Amino acid sequence: MNNKNNFYDTIADKFSVYKNQYDTNRRKEVLIDEFLSQIEIKNKRILDCGCGDGFFISEIVKTYNNINISGCDISLNLLKIAKQKNKKINFFQHNIFLKRTPETFDIIISSEVIEHSANPKKALENLCNSISENGYLILSTPNKLWEGIVKVSSFFKLRPFQGYENFLTIKEIRSILNKNNFKIINYKGIHLYPFQFGFNKLHRYLDERSKFLSNLKINYAIIAKKN
């Protein structure tokens, strides 16, 4: 495992400190409260791919009873933390950047994952191939328009992340989904401006009322169904 992939293991004990709580909760609102709630999940096998410290899984099991959900991540250290928080959940190590999951799932949630690979297009292809027929992908990933600003911030160590950061355009994402027989059900942008600036109530208010600016926002959020 190279140093950039190994980065996740080195920050595992600080992962909850590094992540921005407003950003994490905002993605949870869109991906879980809004998108996942559109799907009938009874008897569905669900995977949180790139589950990190297990936050999304913890939130999902609070809402849904008797849910069949698993989590995977590249980092064993993060998986240990996720397991401590979710003792009844099955977790396994997997590198979605290299290959599809060993089994297919009916629903895969993957938030801010594919961009942390050398080849995010391949990572997205692997996610698509890990989903069963008529299954769903719930995805969030940063907008290519913001990649330069993010990389400059990392170069000057204005943010702690030092792993891979390779963003896609919405056109590239749509192309890969179409190629793999996925139809986008809903798509919206998240974060009209960098969440690090604060003013969270104003930020959320503007975010909800500017869907027409989705292609310019910092993150994409997508739910797509496999035909």
List per-residue pLDDT tens for the chain, 227 residues long. Answer: 456 777 889 889 988 888 899 999 999 999 999 999 999 999 999 999 999 999 999 999 999 988 999 999 999 999 999 999 999 999 999 999 999 999 999 999 999 999 999 999 999 999 999 999 999 999 999 999 999 998 888 777 777 677 889 999 999 999 999 999 999 999 999 999 998 888 999 999 999 999 999 999 999 999 999 99
Q: Calculate helix-pair angle for 170-179, 120-129, nearest 10 degrees.
A: 30
Task: Give the domain CATH number at 54.
Answer: 3.40.50.150
Q: Which of 169, 50, 52, 186 is nearest to 121 (CA)?
A: 169
Number of domains in the chain: 1
**Residue 19: CB partners within 8 Å, gap ≥ 6?**
52
Neighbours of 219 (CB within 10 A): 23
Is position 148 within any domain?
no
Is position 127 within any domain?
yes
Is position 211 within any domain?
no
Residue 8 structural domain: 3-143+153-190
Is position 166 within any domain?
yes
**Phi, psi dihedrals of residue 69, rounded to the nearest 5°:** -130, 140
Predicted pLDDT of residue 1: 47
Is position 218 within any domain?
no
Helices first, then strands: H and E counts in the chain: 9, 7
Is position 202 within any domain?
no
Is position 27 within any domain?
yes
Is position 215 within any domain?
no
What pTM, to 2 d.p., does this model score? Answer: 0.95
